[in-house]
């Protein structure tokens, strides 16, 4: 279909700090292209906790609460799509299924990544975003 966006599935490699002490989440696709997204420290902690298999929260985390709410309302998280990059700001949508309908919810990629990891659903990046992001990833303030 003309104009249809192509997506690639990515995995979350981890979170780190860049040389200027900003938090970065690292994503990689099947072609070994890596995408860095600068995120807030709180979101970096949430993602790192989800990646740490030995982490055991005593109480539900924010992502657990969101997933529990959706479940009680009869909805399930299906995927995260990172679909745009404009002036070094990434845009994404969570896709939730309820009663056979797919509903897109705008979110920050960092929140979406933490939720996708919690729900163990796939994360996709638009091919154009992957290309633009990998070309400009070394300059987060550009």
**Portion of the chain with pLDDT greater than 70, in percent:** 92
Indicate whether 121 pLDDT > 50.
Answer: yes
Band of the pLDDT at 83, cuts 50, 70, 90? very high
Indicate whether 72 pLDDT > 90.
Answer: yes
Element (H, E) at 139: none
Q: Tell me which of 1 and 116 has the higher pLDDT.
A: 116
The whole-number pLDDT of residue 54 equals 79
Band of the pLDDT at 60, cuts 50, 70, 90? confident
- In whole angstroms, give the CA distance from residue 113 to residue 111: 5
- In whole angstroms, give the CA distance from residue 30 to residue 123: 12
What average pLDDT does range 38-67 have in this prediction?
91
CATH number for the domain whose boundaries are 7-136: 3.10.690.10
What six digits make up the tokens of 124? 């996709």
Element (H, E) at 129: helix 127-136
């Amino acid at each position: 279909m003309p104009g249809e966006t192509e997506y690639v599935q990515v995995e979350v490699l981890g979170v780190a700090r860049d040389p200027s002490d900003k938090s970065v989440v690292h994503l990689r696709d099947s072609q070994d292209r890596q995408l860095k997204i600068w995120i807030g420290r709180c979101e970096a902690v949430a993602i790192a906790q989800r990646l740490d298999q030995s982490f055991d929260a005593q109480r539900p985390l924010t992502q657990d609460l969101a997933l529990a709410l959706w479940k009680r309302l009869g909805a399930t998280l299906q995927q995260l799509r990172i679909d745009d990059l404009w002036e070094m700001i990434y845009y994404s949508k969570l896709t939730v299924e309820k009663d056979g309908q797919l509903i897109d919810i705008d979110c920050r990629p960092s929140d979406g990544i933490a939720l996708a990891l919690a729900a163990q659903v796939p994360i996709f990046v638009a091919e154009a975003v992957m290309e633009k992001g990998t070309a400009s990833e070394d300059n987060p303030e550009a």
